[in-house]
Amino acid sequence: MKKNVILLLTLALLIPAIKSTAINVSIPGVLKGEVNLVFLNTTNTSGRIKTKLEFDNIGSIPFKSRLRSEIFDSENLVYTFWSDEKIINPSEKKVFTVQSYINRTGDFLSELRIYYGGEILDYGNVSFKIENIGSPKDIFKISRVRASEDYIKFDLESKEEVKDVIVFFSGFPKSWIVEQSKVKSLKRGNKIPIKVNYDPVPWSNIKLRIHIFSEDGKFYSEREVELKKQTIVQRWYNNILDLLVKLI
């Protein structure tokens, strides 16, 4: 009788422990995405290229994602473009867009990759041809270029009124991420501050090229600039100038 009581007490103590162990077991989330749609458009009257890619989160956890496009000619890398970064939740899809301008004719290749949640999805190559770059006017003026830890700023001025202006950089190290920027409208003679997000790892003082073009292909300018980090005093001074520029 005493042995049966001890056995029952032992089982009574073990059963909650078994139940508790079963409850704490969790299923890891699934990190997975897929490309749903790719659209690459070039124009016959200019060297403008517009790439759109739709990416779906078909997993069970959210992730950050961005598109990278590398443009090659027959021999060399011409440009590297990064989209902005987006958060994509499960069962959600987002469209990434990068725009570029190539001021020469020829056959080119766009290599597309999606970076998401620490993973890289290599979509593959899209070939295209530029037959005519037209005669775009050089109307943009760049001044007061300054660099911070996570963005580049400069002042942009136009000699003519223009809409849908795209800004991108070239010549940066392959390890850097440099996004693009878009201005909806720019009035003649007005100066506005432009901000471009970037991740410069590892940092170095370098010379870059800023490219500015209108979506209709009528205007295109490029300038070489030297990128240096601002001191605390320079940042304070430039922040005040930014406020004044917006008020003018």
> What is the CATH classification number for the domain harbouring 222?
2.60.40.10
DSSP class of residue 27 equals: P
Same domain for 102 and 191? no
Structure tokens at 28: 């890891």
**Alpha-carbon distance 212 to 140, whole Å?**
7
**Alpha-carbon distance 206 to 170, whole Å?**
11
Same domain for 63 and 92? yes
Same domain for 180 and 227? yes
Number of structural domains in the chain: 2
Of 130, 158, 176, the residue that ends a domain is: 130
The answer to whether position 12 is within a domain reads no
The answer to whether position 116 is within a domain reads yes
Same domain for 209 and 231? yes
Same domain for 120 and 155? no
Q: Which residues have C-beta within 8 Å of that of residue 64, sequence separation ≥ 6?
A: 85, 86, 87, 88, 116, 117
Domain interval for residue 203: 140-247
**Alpha-carbon distance 72 to 92, whole Å?**
31
Same domain for 54 and 119? yes
- Residue-averaged pLDDT of the chain: 87
Question: What b-and-e string marks burial along 218-237, b requiring 16 or more CB atoms within 10 Å of the CB?
Answer: bbbbbbebebeebeeeeeee
Same domain for 91 and 44? yes
pTM over 0.85? The answer is no
Same domain for 144 and 225? yes
User: Where is pLDDT greater, at 19 or 144?
Assistant: 144
Q: What is the pLDDT of residue 222?
A: 94
Same domain for 66 and 42? yes
Of 100, 130, 160, the residue that ends a domain is: 130
Of 95, 130, 165, the residue that ends a domain is: 130
| Cα end-to-end distance, the chain, whole Å | 96
Instruction: Evaluate whether 215 touches 170 at the Cβ level (below 8 Å).
Output: no
Structure tokens at 151: 């963005």
Q: What is the pLDDT of residue 74?
A: 85
Cα-only R_g, the chain: 26
Instruction: Please compute the mean of the pLDDT values over residues 206-219 and round it to a whole number.
Output: 93
Same domain for 119 and 165? no
Angstrom distances, CA of residue 20 to CA of 7, 16, 28, 201: 21, 6, 19, 46
DSSP class of residue 29 equals: P
Percentage of the chain beyond pLDDT 90 is: 60
**Alpha-carbon distance 42 to 50, whole Å?**
7
Of 179, 193, 175, 160, the C-alpha closest to 99 is 179
**Does 10 score more than 80 pLDDT?**
no
The answer to whether position 150 is within a domain reads yes
**Alpha-carbon distance 102 to 108, whole Å?**
10
